[in-house]
Structure 1
Amino acid sequence: MIHIKELAEQTNITVRTLRYYEQIELLISSSKTVGGHRLYTEEDLQKLQEIQFYKSLGYSLSDIKMMLTDSEWNWTAGLVKQLTYITNERSRLKEMEQLLRTAISGLALEKGNQEQVIQNLIKLTMQDKRNYERFKEQTFNEAELHLWGKLPKMNADNPESMEWIGLIGMITKYHRTQVSPSSDSVQNVIRRMLEKQKDEYQGEDAFLDKLWEMRKSPTESEQLGLYPIDVEVLEYMEQAYNISMKSQQSSIDTGGDA
C-alpha cells in the first residue's frame, strides 16, 4: 500500500489535492491507517496517472470522472469535442497574445500613458477585422498589399517593428515636451527613420506617400485598423521630415554631403 504522502511525492500532487479528489469521489483511497491516513494501491496510482493525463489534455474534473466511470462514454466524440475546444482556445490565446503585445508597444509609443493605450485598444478591438481586410483590398493593389505585409506591426516582437515603435515613441515624447522639430534630437530620430525606410522600402516611395496621406486621416487610419496616433504628433513628424529634406537638398546644392 502507498501512503498518501508518498503518492503525493511520486505524482507531484499535493496531499490537499488528493483529499479533494476523494471528496468529489474522483479518486477514493482503498484503505486507511489506524491513524486515519489514506492508503492507495498500485491500481489507485494508475488511475491517478490517468487523471493527470486527461487533465493535461484540458479536460475538466467532472468530465474526467465521467470518462473513468461511464462505461458508455463515447471516446471518439469526446476526444473530437476536446480537440475542437483546444483549437478554439488556442485561437483565443493567440488573440490575447497579440493584444498584449500591442499594449506593450502602445506603452512604448505613448511613453507610459496607459490610459491612452487602453482607450486605443478598446477602440481597435471594437472594430470588425473583416472590415479592415475589405478596405485594404479596395484601397491597395496586389503589389501594395505585399508591401503592407512588410510594415511594422504593433503586435510583432521582431527587432525591426520594435525599433520603429521606439522611434515614433521618441517623436511623441519630443512633441509633448515641445522640443523644436529642427532640434538635433528630433532630426537624429528622423534621420534614423529615413535610413530604415531606405533599407526596407527602397524604390517604394509612391506606396509610402499614399500610406502616409492615409495615416494622417483618422478616418482612413481607423478603416485600415492602424493603431491611433495623435494627428498633432503626425503633423509634428511631417514638419521634422520636411526640415530634414530641405537640409539634405541644401547640402546637395552647396556641394556638401547629403
Structure 2
Amino acid sequence: MITIKEISKITEISVRTLRYYEEIGLLFPSDKTEGGHRLYSEEELKRLQQILFLKNLGFKLKEIQRLLNETWEWSTSLDHQLAYVLEEQEKLKQMENTINGLKNALAIEGELNEALIQKIIKLTNRESEKKQAFRQQMFSNDEWDLVQSLPNLNRNDPNSLEWMGLLGQLKQLMSYGAESDSVQRIIKRMIEKSTEEYSDNESFLEKMWEIRKSPSLSDKVGLYPLDEKFLKYIEEAFNIYEARELRGTSE
C-alpha cells in the first residue's frame, strides 16, 4: 500500500486531482489509515496509469470512466477519438499555415494592418478544393508540376522564404526608384532564381505574370495579394534590367 502523497509523487498527479477522481467515482483508494489518510494498492496504481493514458489520448473523464467500467464499446470509441484527433490536426495545420502566412506577409510588407490580415486569413482559409479546381482549369498537365513548385506564403521552405525576402526588400526600396543599383541587384537575383527553377518554361513564367497582374485571377489561384502600384514598380524594374542587359550584349 502507498499513500496519496507517494502516489502523487510517482505519477506527478496532484493530491487535489486524485481527490477529485475519487469524488467523481473514477479512482477510489483501497483503504485508509487510522488517521484517515488514503492508501492505494498496485491495482489502483494500474487503474491510474490507464486513466492517464486515455486522458493523453484526449478522452474526457466521463468517457474514461465508462471505458474503464467496460460499459462502452472500445472499437467505436477509438474510431471516434481517432476522427477527433485527425480533425484537431487539420485545425492545427490550418493555424500553422495562417501564422506562417502572416509572418511571411510581415517580411514583405514590413508591417501588418487589419485589411491585410483579413486578406491573408482569407487566402489561407480558402477552400482548397475550389482553388485546386480553378488551377487545373488554368494550367495544362505539363504545367501542373511547375504550379506545385511555386513559392508559397504559408510554407517555410528555403525557396519560398527567399522569394518573400526578395519581395520584402523591393518593397522597402520603392522610394529609391526602379533604376537604382540596389533594386537592380534584387531583380537580378529574381531572374537568376526564375532561370534556375523554370529555365525551359518561359511561357509558364509569362502566364504567371499575367495572372499576377490580375487581382481577380491572383485571388482565385491563391497568390499573395500584391498591390497594383508595387506590381507596376516590379515590372518597371524588370524592364530596366532587360534593357541594360540588351545594351550590354549589343555593345
What range describes the TM-score normalised by the shorter chain of this pair?
Answer: over 0.9
Partner of 2:225: 228
> Residues 16 and 48 from structure 1, CA distance in 2 versus in 1: closer, same or farther, beyond 3 angstroms?
same
Partner of 2:249: 252
Structure 1 residue 182 and structure 2 residue 190: aligned? no
Partner of 1:100: 99
1:2 & 1:117 partners in 2: Cα distance?
59
SS in 2 for 1:192: helix
Deviations 1:184-220 (A, max 9, x none): 1111111111111111111211100111011011010
Give the superposition deviation at 1:113: 1.9
Partner of 1:13: 13
Give the superposition deviation at 1:148: 0.3
Deviations 1:142-186 (A, max 9, x none): 0111110111111112111111111111112222xx221111111
1:36 & 1:107 partners in 2: Cα distance?
61
Partner of 2:31: 31
Give the superposition deviation at 1:130: 2.4
1:34 & 1:128 partners in 2: Cα distance?
65
2:184 & 2:107 partners in 1: Cα distance?
20
SS in 2 for 1:241: helix
CA contact (8 A) 2:97 2:124 kept: no
2:242 & 2:36 partners in 1: Cα distance?
84
SS in 2 for 1:58: coil
Structure 1 residue 201 and structure 2 residue 177: aligned? no
> Residues 35 and 112 from structure 1, CA distance in 2 versus in 1: closer, same or farther, beyond 3 angstroms?
farther
Matched letter for residue 108 of structure 1: A
SS in 2 for 1:88: helix
Runs of 5+ unmatched residues, structure 2: none
SS in 1 for 2:39: strand
SS in 1 for 2:173: helix
Report 1:99-118 matches (<5 A): 99-118=98-117
Deviations 1:83-102 (A, max 9, x none): 22222222222222222221
Partner of 2:43: 43
Structure 1 residue 74 and structure 2 residue 70: aligned? no
1:114 & 1:43 partners in 2: Cα distance?
58
SS in 2 for 1:154: coil
CA contact (8 A) 1:107 1:117 kept: no
2:135 & 2:53 partners in 1: Cα distance?
46
Q: Which moved more, 1:197-206 or 1:95-104?
A: 95-104
What root-mean-square deviation, in Å, do the aligned CA atoms of Structure 1 and Structure 2 show? 1.7
Q: TM-score, normalised by structure 1?
A: 0.90
Structure 1 residue 151 and structure 2 residue 150: aligned? yes
Give the superposition deviation at 1:80: 1.5
1:235 & 1:14 partners in 2: Cα distance?
63
SS in 2 for 1:39: strand
Structure 1 residue 216 and structure 2 residue 217: aligned? no
2:116 & 2:4 partners in 1: Cα distance?
50
Runs of 5+ unmatched residues, structure 1: none
